[in-house]
Copies of this chain bind each other. A is one copy, B any other.
Amino acid sequence: MKPAAAHDFLQLNPAAGEPYYRQIYTRLRAAAADGLLKPGDRIPSARALAAELGLARGTVESAYSLLAAEGYIEARGQAGTVIAAGLQAKPSTAAAKAAPAPAAPAPYDFDNPAGRPAPLPRPFQMGVPALDAFPRKIWARLAARAARATGAADMLYPPPAGTDALRAEIARYLQLSRGLSCAPAQVFITAGYRDSLDLAARALLEPGDKVWVEDPGYPPTGALLRAAGMTLVGVPVDDDGLQVAEGLRLAPRARAAVVTPAHQSPLCVALSLQRRIELLDWATRSKAWIIEDDYDGEYRYVSRPLPALKSLDRDDRVLYAGTFSKVLFPAIRLAYLVVPLSQVARFEETARHFSGGSPALTQGIVADFMAEGHFARHIQRMRRLYGERRELAAAGLDAVLGKQMQMEARPGGMHLLMRLKGRRSDRALAEKMRQDGMFGRALSECLLAPREGLPPMLMLSFTNIDSRRKAQELARRILALL
């Protein structure tokens, strides 16, 4: 076995018989040719590189003058030495021999993993709040302030369960807005809903355990649980939400259920009070856990938001999963899981093994955003705005597609449900919309297993549709695909 690729820059070989300056020259040139160094990229000063390599400065300077003579690098005075502009990346011998490097993947989108690039967010993109309405100036100000205020204590490992400040703000917010009493110590900060679900599964479940999931449901929930080794039990959903009686029939001894009680994902129905009580009774009797995914419980337009299922939970069987992706924006990567008091120690242990915590900076910005009242104001503004956009989108779509689709009346959520009239395939239409650069999602794509008799239905987010005209334009794009 010998050292690998010849252009590994620092791997200077004392036994090569090739002088060091020549080795540096060869390797830097190869890095430029391979595109690892791009035109305009700064390279270390000769002094710095010599120190780095433990060589005399002259050795590096020899290499640099050779590279400069051949036009690979340019001295730019104060700006230092850079890779020359106009240098064409040519595959070096080593790179040509290596396996072809796969292209960097496009931004991930679970609904369109192989889709063509499109302006972001794509029309109707689900799960994305109104990005134009986010208070970016306030946000940037708080971010700058938090970054400037970074002290030594803020640079150490953050607590795996989250900073005290953010946990306290969330506990206060849940009390006031979701009718949910909890101590800050019950609030575990995570990197997103998937991470919350993963934490819950690791703390409370064993591979092979049966878990009820809604069918149709939110595809990432099933995908994560399946990848984590759980056995999924799809429980059908009707106008009152999860059919608890069906769950009892299919798998009474399941260890957990994941539900979206406020607005079922994707059907947007609310879990009825009767079903909530049945579900809690089942969990109490069979010592099962309920994971309440309250991803957008804040957004209800017709009547006031429903209290969280967790607020009815007298026997501490419910874990409440909230996220900042929908009320702030997805790239923040912060969510939280409220765990029963009796399970706090177990979750602390699990978090300690698997997590080093979330970034102190983003936690600090969000805690300030909440403490200063921006968060509550933003949610309230968004609720009003979404109420308006929902109307605009519905009116615009109906004006153009009224003969082909019928909107389902739903009290909340961030998307419309359009039932396709006749015998059209929702899946085929969703696929065509994705091809066309829009975001398309069919109800049948949210099913755990294929099922007969489900109406063909399209889910269209309205959060980023800011005028009836825009809705009509997009509706015409859909019409052209029918």
Contacts and interface: CB of A to CB of B under 8 A. Distances in A.
Interface of A: 1-5, 7-11, 31, 36-37, 41-42, 44, 48, 51-54, 80, 94, 98-99, 101-110, 113, 120-121, 125, 128, 131-132, 134, 136, 139-140, 143-144, 147-148, 150, 152-161, 164, 167-168, 171-172, 175-181, 183-186, 191-195, 198, 202, 207, 220, 223-224, 227-229, 277, 280-281, 303-305, 307, 311-314, 325, 329-334, 341, 344-345, 348, 350, 352-362, 372-373, 376-377, 380, 384
B311 A281 contact: no
28 contacts: A1-B281, A4-B311, A4-B312, A8-B307, A10-B304, A36-B176, A41-B172, A42-B373, A102-B183, A102-B344, A102-B345, A103-B185, A105-B185, A143-B143, A144-B144, A155-B331, A156-B329, A156-B330, A157-B325, A191-B355, A194-B355, A227-B350, A325-B356, A331-B357, A331-B359, A331-B360, A332-B359, A362-B362
Shortest 9 CB-CB contacts between residues of A and residues of B = A101-B183, A143-B147, A144-B144, A11-B179, A54-B304, A192-B356, A331-B360, A155-B329, A8-B179
B136 A150 contact: yes
Given A180-B8, A333-B357, A107 B157 contact: yes
A303 B98 CA distance: 31
Given A54-B303, A156-B330, A157-B108, A140 B131 contact: no
B1 A52 contact: no
Nearest to A304: B54
Select the residue from A150, A331, A334, A372 with max chain B CB neighbours within 10 A. A331
A296 to B, nearest CB: 15
A1 B195 contact: no
Given A105-B159, A108-B160, A341-B101, A333 B359 contact: yes
Contacts of A330: 155-158, 356
Contact of A356 (B36, B178, B186, B333): B333
Nearest to A48: B380
A210 to B, nearest CB: 18
A1 B285 CA distance: 13
A322 to B, nearest CB: 14
Contacts of A198: 354
A154 B169 CA distance: 25
Contacts of A345: 102
Contacts of A106: 159
Nearest to A165: B104
Contacts of A168: 104
A422 B377 CA distance: 66
Nearest to A171: B36
Contact of A4 (B107, B314, B372, B380): B314
A8 B155 CA distance: 36
Nearest to A207: B207
A179 B3 CA distance: 10
B156 A128 contact: yes
A108 B160 CA distance: 7
A236 B391 CA distance: 68
B360 A359 contact: no
A415 to B, nearest CB: 16
A159 to B, nearest CB: 5
B373 A159 contact: no
Contacts of A175: 7-9, 31, 36
A177 B108 contact: no
Given A36-B176, A158-B333, A195-B354, 19 more contacts: A8-B181, A9-B177, A11-B307, A52-B380, A53-B304, A98-B181, A101-B183, A101-B184, A102-B341, A106-B159, A107-B157, A107-B158, A108-B159, A121-B156, A128-B155, A140-B144, A140-B148, A156-B330, A359-B359
A374 B185 CA distance: 38
Contacts of A128: 155-156
B358 A361 contact: no
Given A157-B108, A362-B361, A224 B354 contact: yes
Contacts of A104: 164, 167-168, 184-185
Nearest to A152: B131
B359 A161 contact: no
B156 A11 contact: no
A275 to B, nearest CB: 12
B152 A7 contact: no
